[in-house]
Amino acid sequence: MKIKYIIIVVLVVIIGILAGVYFFQNEEKKVKRQFYLLSEWASKEEGENTFTMAHKVKSIGTLFTEHCEFKADIISFSGRFNSEEVSGYAARARLPFSKLSLQFYDLDVSFPEKGMAKVTLTGKLTGRLTSGEYVDETHELECVLKKIENKWLFSDVEVVEILKK
């Protein structure tokens, strides 16, 4: 009789652990998906038409909170911006490129508190300017995403300085 109860308790614990792992994995996947979308919408193919450009630029704004804080002293870009301003900056940043690719690597997601995700990652931007010059920039980023209306949105983006001149 005792053994029966022990087995039931062990099973319940295992199911609980599996459910917990499954739940957190799902949240992690949702967070990582936002980076995938940002990468897709920031990237630019050669000969991109105006409609695609407008759609991508507008979509980028939907990934950010209404008061997103940027801290990127290395590229002299810091301040608090709303989603429309982020779209505007994205449009201006994409303009001089004929081809652009933004890739994210080594995403490490943690959840320091409910409704908040902290992500450390490497961002790599490669592309070719319309002048023909090649661009290859890699930076470590620390991002905070907040869950607002069941959507994970970027609320803080900081560029980490690896090499200090």
Partner 1 sequence: MDINKRIRQFFFPSLTLKFLIRASSIALFAYLFFGHICTPLLIKGLSMEPTYRNGSVNFCWRLRFIFSGPKRHDVVAVRFAGNKVMLLKRVVAVEGERVEFRDGKLFVDGKEMDEPYVRYPCNWNLPPRQVEKDCVYVVGDNRNMPIENHHFGQASVKRIIGVPLW
**Which residues in this chain contact partner 1 in the complex, by CB under 8 A?**
105-108, 120-122, 124, 136, 138-141, 162-165
Q: In this complex, which beta carbon is closest to partner 1, that of residue 116 or of residue 141?
A: 141
Shorter beta-carbon distance to partner 1: residue 53 or 121: 121
Output the six-digit token pair for 30. 């949702």
Per DSSP, 44 falls in state B
User: Nearest approach, Cβ of 162 to partner 1 (angstroms)?
Assistant: 6
| Least CB distance to partner 1 at residue 107 (A) | 8
Find the shortest distance in angstroms from Cβ 14 to partner 1. 25
CB of residue 140 to partner 1, shortest distance in Å: 4
Q: d(Cα 124, Cα 20) in Å, to the nearest integer?
A: 33
CB count within 10 Å of CB 128 equals 17
Hey, is 158 helix, strand or coil? strand
Show the tokens assigned to 28: 């992690």
Enter the tokens of residue 141: 């980023």
Nearest residue (CB) to partner 1, 58 versus 118: 118
